[in-house]
Structure 1
Amino acid sequence: MMEQNKEAILDLELKGCFDFFWKEANTDKNSPGYGLIRDNTAPANKNMASIASVGFGLSTIIIGIERGWISKEEGYERTRGTLHTFLHHVEHSEGFFFHFLDMNTAKKYEASYDCASIIDTSIFLNGAITSAEYFGGEVKELFEQIYARVDWQKYYDESRNVFYMGYTPEKGGFGQWDMYAEQLMQYILGVASPSYPVPVKIYKGFARDLVQYGEYEFYHSPGGSLFTHQFSHAWFNFKDIVDEDGINWFDNSVKATLAARQYCIDNPQGFRTFGEHSWGLTACEGPNGYRGYGAAPFHPNCDALINDGTVAPTAASGSIVFAPDEVIDAMNYFYKEVPQLWSEYGFLDAYNLDVTPPWVADRVIGIDKGITALMIENYKTGLIWDLYMSNEHVKKAQKMLNWNQQ
C-alpha cells in the first residue's frame, strides 16, 4: 500500500496522533483533572499533564469526530468536561495556566516552572477556539469565560512594547518576547481580548532578523528550530495574508522549512543521521535529554554546535503544508528505513544514528504529536484553519492587526 500511495503514511500517522490524545487523558469524570492530557508517554511522567498538549488535543478531538474514530457525542462530552476543568479546577495566575499540571489534581505539577506560561496558555486557547466554533453552545460559553479571564496586560512590557515571557504577582514580569518565534498567536489573542487587551502596536515590538541560507532568504528565529515556524500556523491560516510591512509569514515558513532541509543535506558536521530524506531539526527528545536542535544560520546567542545528529519526524511532518513533497518523502523514509521509530502512537519523538549504540526515543511528546496532527489535517482538508479563522475574536484581531489578503 505504501508503495502505491505515498500519502498513506499521513493517515497512519494522523490516527496514531489522535490515539495519543484520546487515550493518554484523564478520563475520570469525578476527577478535578478530567480531560487533562499527558505531556509525554515516559513512565516517570505518567502524572504530568501539559496545557499545550491539551490545546492540541482539543483540536485533535474534532479531527477524530470528522474521521469517524469517535462519535460527536463522545467528543463533545470530553471537550465540555475539559473546558469545565480549566474554568473551575486548573491552577492559574491572572488567567494564565502553568505549563505542567498534575493529571489528577489540576494543580501546578511539582516539576513545573515557577510562573504561568503565556505561550502554552495561548496554545490551549487556540485549541479551545476550534472547539467553540465546532460545538457551539455550552462549549463556546465555557471558552468565552476562560478567555475573558486572561489578563494579557499583566504580560505586557509597555516600556519595550513586547510581551513578557513570564510573570508572577510577587516579581512582576520578566523575560522578553523580543524576537520572531512561535508567538504570533499571542498577538491575535492579546489584541482581541474582550477584557484585558494589549495595544495593536505590540505586533511591531519584536525584531525581524532577515537571514540568508543558500538560496533562501527569510526571517529567522533564534536556534533555528522548526517548531517556531509551525505552531501559530497550525490554527491561523497565514497563506495569502500580508502584514503592513508586506511580510507573508506562510511564505516565510516555506523558506525556513526548505532552508532547514537544505542544511541537513549540506550536513556541515557530517552526521550519519542527516540527509536528503532524513531531516528535521526542532526542540525534541535527544540521547541526552530534551534539547532545542536547529538549523543554520544560528543566532549569535546560540551555540552553533547545538546539534548532535538527532532528527525528529515532527520537525518535517509539522511542515507538510509548507513543503508537502519533501515532507511526505521524509515520512515514508522514516517509516520504511527506521522501523524502530514506529509505535502505537505513530512516530516516536526522534532518532540518532551518530551515537553508539544508535538511539531511538522511548516516548512520544504531546506538542510534537499535536503539531503533526493539525498540520496533516490542514494539508488534507483545511479543517482546523477553517474553524479557527471563522471565530469572531480571530476575525477582530486580523482586522486590528491589518493582516490583509493578498
Structure 2
Amino acid sequence: MSNFKISLLLLIFFVGVSCKNDKKPKTEVADIQTLSDEALLDTVQKQTLKYFWDYAEPNSGMARERYHPDGEYPKDDAHVVTTGGSGFGLMAIVAGMEREWIERDSAVARLDKIADFLDNAPRFHGVWSHWLNGETGEIQAFSEKDNGGDLVETSFLAQGFLVVREYLKNGNEEEKAIAAKYDELWKGIEWEWYTNNKDGLYWHWSPDYQWEMDFMIEGYNECLITYVMAASSPDHAIEPDVYHKGWARGGDIVTDKEAYGLPLILKHNTRGNKGGPLFWAHYSYLGLNPTGLEDQYANYWDLNVNHSLINYNYCVENPEGFETYSKDSWGLTASYTRNENDGIGYTAHSPDDDKGVVAPTAAVSSIPYTPEESLRAIRYFYEEQKELLWGPAGFYDAFSLEGEDWAAKRYLAIDQGPQVVMIENYRTGLIWDLFMQAPEVQEGLDKLGFNVSD
C-alpha cells in the first residue's frame, strides 16, 4: 500500500474519530440545554407533586405513608395514610394550584374531602395519631404504645391547615367554607394539654397507655414548629416558659461547636458535632420562614444554611471514601437505606450515621439555603442518574453507587412533600408568605420572643 493511501486512510480514520468525538459532546450539551434551571425545577416540582395528587389514598384524599410503584406492600400498608405527610401534601397542593398544574375546582374538592376525613377521624384532645387507615378512618398504631395522639405529626399537619386557610379565605363561597373547616380543625387542637402540667410539650398520649411513652420534645431537631404552633393557638396556647424551659432546655440548647468553619449554633440531638439529618432543616420550615427569624438562641436562617453546608461539605470530604458522594451527589437525611444483599431498610442518615446512601430530598429540599449546590445536585440526579433515580412521582427515595448501583424505588410522603414546598419557597416564597401572614403565627412568635426582620 502506498504511503499516500496509508496517509489517506489515517486521515479518514482520525477525521471519523474526531467527528464521532465531536458529535457526542454536542448531543450531550444539547440534551442538557433542553432544560434551563427554571425548566428543571418545573419538571421536578410537577412530577413530585404527583405523589400527593395522582397517588394519594383515594377514599380519604390523604397522603399515603409510602407509595410503591410496583404495587408490592406489606399487608394493609397501601391504605396507611400519614397525618404529618398529609400536612406537607396540603402545602404541595396549594403550590400546584398556584402554578395551575392542578385544576382549581378539582383541588378545592380534594381539600374539602381531606378536611371532612380528618374531622371524622379519631382525635385525642384535638390531636391526630401518626397513622390512619385511609379506607376506614381508624387508627393504625405506629407502635404498640403509639396508638393515640402524636403532637409532632399534628403540628406538621396544622402547618398545612393554616396555609390552606390563608390561600382560600378570600376565594369564592365554596373556598371560604373550606377555609373555615381548616380553621376549625386548627383551633380544636389542645396544645396546652400535652404539657402534662410540666414545662415542656410531650410527643405522645394514648387513652390506653396515657403518658407511658414519656417523650418530652426537646431541641434541637425537627420539632421547632410544634412549639411555634402551640404558642400560636387562639384557644389552647402554651405559656412561654414551656418553650424556654422545655424545647430550649433552659438555654442549654446553644452550642459553640462548629464543623468546616461553620458554627452549628444549636446543639443537635446527635452523637457528634456535624449536624443531624437534613430533614431537621426542612420540616419545621415549610411554612415557618427562617429568613430574618431569630430569638435569643439562634438566627434560624444561619442555622439552616450552616446545617445544609456542613452536610454538603461532609459529603465532599467523604471521609469513608464512598463512591456515591461528590460535589454533585450529596445529601444525608432520614430515608430508605441499603441493607445487606441490597435489601431495603430505613434510617436517619447523617454524618454520624453514614452508610454511603444519598436521599435526593436532602439536597433538593435545601435549595433555599444552598441554591448553587442544590441545583447542581438536582441536575446530576436528573441528567446523570435519571435511569436509576427518576420515577412516576419524582426522584426515588434513596440511592447508592457502592458496588452495584442501587436505588430504593419507592417513595415516602415525608420525603416528597418538602421537595415540592421548598422548591416553591425558593422560587416565589409562596408557602412561607401564606403561613407567616396568619395573625396567630405572628402573635405566637412574638409571645416566644422571636424577631422577624426583612
1:163 Cα deviation after fit: 1.4
1:263 Cα deviation after fit: 0.7
Asked if 1 retains the 8 angstrom alpha-carbon contact of 2:367 and 2:374, the reply is: yes
CA distance, structure 2, for counterparts of residue 77 and residue 59 of structure 1: 15
1:46 matches 2:92: no
Asked if 1 retains the 8 angstrom alpha-carbon contact of 2:56 and 2:62, the reply is: yes
Question: Residues 267 and 209 of structure 1: is their aligned pair in 2 closer, same or farther, counting only changes over 3 Å?
Answer: farther
1:145 Cα deviation after fit: 1.8
CA distance, structure 2, for counterparts of residue 220 and residue 371 of structure 1: 23
| 2:26 paired residue number | none
> Quick check: 102-111 or 389-398, which moved more?
102-111
> Unpaired runs of 5+ in structure 2?
1-30, 170-175, 271-275, 340-344
Match of 1:367 among 398, 414, 419: 414
- Which one-letter code corresponds to 2:393 in the other structure? Y
Cα shift readout 1:82-119 (whole Å, capped 9, x = no counterpart): 111111x2222221111111120121125553332111
Question: Residues 260 and 157 of structure 1: is their aligned pair in 2 closer, same or farther, counting only changes over 3 Å?
Answer: farther
Cα shift readout 1:136-172 (whole Å, capped 9, x = no counterpart): 221222122212221112321544x221121223443
Asked if 1 retains the 8 angstrom alpha-carbon contact of 2:221 and 2:269, the reply is: yes
State the superposition RMSD in angstroms.
1.7
Asked if 2 retains the 8 angstrom alpha-carbon contact of 1:2 and 1:9, the reply is: no
SS in 2 for 1:286: strand
- Which one-letter code corresponds to 1:166 in the other structure? H
1:255 matches 2:292: no
**Identity value in percent:** 29
Cα shift readout 1:310-333 (whole Å, capped 9, x = no counterpart): 100101111100010010001111
CA distance, structure 2, for counterparts of residue 110 and residue 215 of structure 1: 43
CA distance, structure 1, for counterparts of residue 363 and residue 155 of structure 2: 23
CA distance, structure 1, for counterparts of residue 283 and residue 442 of structure 2: 19
> Quick check: 215-224 or 109-118, which moved more?
109-118
| 1:384 paired residue number | 431
1:62 matches 2:113: no
1:227 Cα deviation after fit: 0.3
| 1:284 paired residue number | 335
| 1:94 paired residue number | 125
- Which one-letter code corresponds to 1:351 in the other structure? F
| 1:115 paired residue number | 148
SS in 2 for 1:227: helix
| 1:166 paired residue number | 204
CA distance, structure 1, for counterparts of residue 141 and residue 156 of structure 2: 21
CA distance, structure 1, for counterparts of residue 372 and residue 267 of structure 2: 23
CA distance, structure 1, for counterparts of residue 385 and residue 226 of structure 2: 37
| 1:126 paired residue number | 159
1:149-164 superposed matches below 5 A? 149-159=188-198, 161-164=199-202
CA distance, structure 2, for counterparts of residue 94 and residue 110 of structure 1: 17
CA distance, structure 1, for counterparts of residue 102 and residue 123 of structure 2: 31
- Which one-letter code corresponds to 2:234 in the other structure? P
Match of 1:216 among 262, 265, 283: 262
CA distance, structure 2, for counterparts of residue 93 and residue 315 of structure 1: 32
Match of 1:351 among 399, 408, 411: 399
| Higher helix proportion (structure 1 or 2) | 2
1:220 Cα deviation after fit: 4.1
Cα shift readout 1:30-73 (whole Å, capped 9, x = no counterpart): xxxx2222111123131111112211111111111111112221
| 1:298 paired residue number | none
SS in 2 for 1:93: coil
CA distance, structure 2, for counterparts of residue 170 and residue 194 of structure 1: 29
Question: Residues 26 and 171 of structure 1: is their aligned pair in 2 closer, same or farther, counting only changes over 3 Å?
Answer: closer
SS in 1 for 2:135: coil
What TM-score do the two structures reach when normalised by structure 2?
A: 0.82
Asked if 2 retains the 8 angstrom alpha-carbon contact of 1:226 and 1:315, the reply is: yes
SS in 2 for 1:172: coil
1:349 Cα deviation after fit: 0.5
CA distance, structure 2, for counterparts of residue 352 and residue 392 of structure 1: 45
CA distance, structure 2, for counterparts of residue 24 and residue 398 of structure 1: 35
- Which one-letter code corresponds to 1:234 in the other structure? L
Cα shift readout 1:200-248 (whole Å, capped 9, x = no counterpart): 1222123424221111112242241000121111101121122134x21
Asked if 1 retains the 8 angstrom alpha-carbon contact of 2:162 and 2:186, the reply is: no
| 1:301 paired residue number | none
CA distance, structure 1, for counterparts of residue 49 and residue 204 of structure 2: 31
Size of the aligned set, in residue pairs, is 388
Match of 1:195 among 235, 239, 259: 235
1:26 Cα deviation after fit: 3.3
CA distance, structure 1, for counterparts of residue 38 and residue 97 of structure 2: 21
Asked if 1 retains the 8 angstrom alpha-carbon contact of 2:292 and 2:300, the reply is: no
Asked if 1 retains the 8 angstrom alpha-carbon contact of 2:337 and 2:398, the reply is: yes
SS in 1 for 2:67: coil
CA distance, structure 1, for counterparts of residue 187 and residue 427 of structure 2: 33
> Unpaired runs of 5+ in structure 1?
29-33, 296-303
1:182 matches 2:215: no
1:257 Cα deviation after fit: 0.4
- Which one-letter code corresponds to 1:120 in the other structure? E
CA distance, structure 2, for counterparts of residue 140 and residue 65 of structure 1: 15
What TM-score do the two structures reach when normalised by structure 1?
A: 0.91
CA distance, structure 1, for counterparts of residue 48 and residue 236 of structure 2: 35
Cα shift readout 1:354-391 (whole Å, capped 9, x = no counterpart): 2x533101211111110111000000011101111111
1:18 Cα deviation after fit: 1.1
Question: Residues 238 and 367 of structure 1: is their aligned pair in 2 closer, same or farther, counting only changes over 3 Å?
Answer: same
1:77 Cα deviation after fit: 1.1
- Which one-letter code corresponds to 2:350 in the other structure? G
